[in-house]
């Protein structure tokens, strides 16, 4: 069995200048493939609300949803660190509520760590989780659960004041005990400053190449999400077209009688068949 990636290993990778590879995963067979491909961190993100459950945003995703998808990913991953998102309103009410939610994701779901969005305002919650033995990944910049408060899908940290707030938020999260910070949709120069100033790894998504690692939503990478993908995503395959073609050929074969053929069927002994007649 491969050596498990741990939060300590991620910090060592930052120190050595080794880039961290992170992808979303929501089911057993996909997580198994990503793990075998050498992905370091598997994120059971609340992005599942959009790419798996068909919602318009991440806001409707519940703790039960994330638990349901974390279990198979955790069973599949032999090497990767499995991180589960704390959904909207599962950690904002109180640190104790956040602890209960995180505890379920780890105890029932098999996650190795949790991720939550926010800066200084969630630092006390992060500290409470870390104190209880829960590894926490932070998330700054564009935070999807705050999409309405932020005025839509917009790049964050472009002004001097906004950049300083982001730097202060990163410092607060580090002080509270996060083991890594996702930086989403921020100028690459700001991401570079954060990466240089914090001792924990930064994971970029639309934050430039200077981060310690990168994360993408798998459905964007594979071309499975047929709605418009964000500008920062790179499509490495067009599986949507592959699937449409394969299913179309199957449908044609069924309607034309070409499937199933003799090679896909089972026969019985002729003598037995004669007695049936």
What residues are designated binding site for 3-methyl-2-oxobutanoate? 46-47, 85, 115
Strands (DSSP E) contained in 20-135 are 20-24, 41-44, 81-85, 113-115
DSSP annotation of 269 reads: -
Count of CB atoms situated within 10 Å of the CB of 163: 18
Radius of gyration of the chain (CA): 22
Continuous H helices in 143-235: 160-176, 188-197, 218-221
Could you tell me which residues are annotated as the binding site for Mg(2+)? 46, 85, 117
Find how far residue 59's CA is from the centre of its chain: 15
- Told to judge if 56 belongs to the known catalytic residues of this protein, a careful annotator would answer no
> How far, in Å, CA of 162 to CA of 184, rounded?
14
**Which candidate in 78, 108, 184, 210 is catalytic?**
184
Could you tell me which residues are annotated as the binding site? 46-47, 85, 115, 117
Tell me the catalytic residues: 184
């Amino acid at each position: 069995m491969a050596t498990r990636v741990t939060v300590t290993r991620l910090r060592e990778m930052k120190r050595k200048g080794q880039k961290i590879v992170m992808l979303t995963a929501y089911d057993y067979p996909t997580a198994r493939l990503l793990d075998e491909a050498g992905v370091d961190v598997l994120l059971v993100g609340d992005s599942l609300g959009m790419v798996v459950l068909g919602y318009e945003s991440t806001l409707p995703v519940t703790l039960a949803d994330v638990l349901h998808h974390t279990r198979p990913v955790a069973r599949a991953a032999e090497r990767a660190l499995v991180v589960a998102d704390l959904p909207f309103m599962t950690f904002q009410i109180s640190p104790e509520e956040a602890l209960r939610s995180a505890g379920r994701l780890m105890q029932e779901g098999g996650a190795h760590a949790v991720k939550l969005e926010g800066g200084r305002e969630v630092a006390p919650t992060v500290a409470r989780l870390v104190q209880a033995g829960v590894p926490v990944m932070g998330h700054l910049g564009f935070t999807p659960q705050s999409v309405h408060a932020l005025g839509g899908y917009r790049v964050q940290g472009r002004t001097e004041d906004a950049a300083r707030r982001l730097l202060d938020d990163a410092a607060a999260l580090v002080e509270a005990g996060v083991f890594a910070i996702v930086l989403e949709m921020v100028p690459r120069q700001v991401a570079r400053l954060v990466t240089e100033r914090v001792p924990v790894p930064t994971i970029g998504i639309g934050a430039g190449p200077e981060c310690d690692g990168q994360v993408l939503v798998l459905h964007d990478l594979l071309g499975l999400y047929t709605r418009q993908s964000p500008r920062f995503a790179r499509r490495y395959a067009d599986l949507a077209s592959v699937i449409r073609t394969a299913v179309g050929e199957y449908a044609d074969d069924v309607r034309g009688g070409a499937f199933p053929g003799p090679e896909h069927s089972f026969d019985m002994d002729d003598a037995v068949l004669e007695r049936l007649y």
